[in-house]
Amino acid sequence: MSRVLGEVVGRTGEEVQVERGPLGPVQFWRGQSRYVVGELLDSWVETAPWWLRGEGAVGGASVELVAPREVWRVEAVRAGRSRMSFAGVYDLSWDASGNRWWLVRVHD
C-alpha cells in the first residue's frame, strides 16, 4: 500500500531538501530528520493528466502544474537506524520550474 501525501499550494506532496548525486537522490531531510538512500529502485518522468495538457495553460492552470516532473523511487532509512529493520520506500519528485523537491508518496 502507498500513501499519497496531502496537497500543498496546488501540488501533491511535502517539500523536502534533497542532496542529489550523479544517479539521483542520495539523502533527504523531512524537517529535522535525515534519510539516507540505500538503493535507487526506479525513476521516471510524470506528465500532467491529458485534460491539463495543451498550449500554455488549460482552464487557467499554471504552466508549473502541467510541466513534466522527474520522480525517483528510493529505499531509504532514517539516519542512525538499521536498514534491515527500518527501511522505507519513498517517491521523491524534482520540480525544475520551482527549483524544489517534493516527497510525493510513502509506500508501506
Q: Which grid cell is 94?
A: 524534482
CB atoms < 10 A from the CB of 34, how many? 15
4 lies in a domain?
no
25 lies in a domain?
yes
* Structural domain that includes position 31: 14-47+66-107
pLDDT per residue as tens, the chain (108 positions): 555 555 444 456 899 999 999 999 999 999 899 999 999 999 999 886 666 555 554 455 555 555 788 999 999 999 887 666 688 999 999 988 888 999 999 997
How many domains in the chain? Answer: 1
Handedness of CA 92, 95, 98, 104 (dihedral sign): negative
The C-alpha atoms of residue 81 and residue 92 are separated, in whole angstroms, by 20
98 lies in a domain?
yes
59, burial (CB in 10 Å: exposed 0-12, middle 13-18, buried 19+): exposed
pLDDT of residue 53: 57
- One-letter identity of residue 4: V
CATH of the domain at 80: 3.10.450
57 lies in a domain?
no
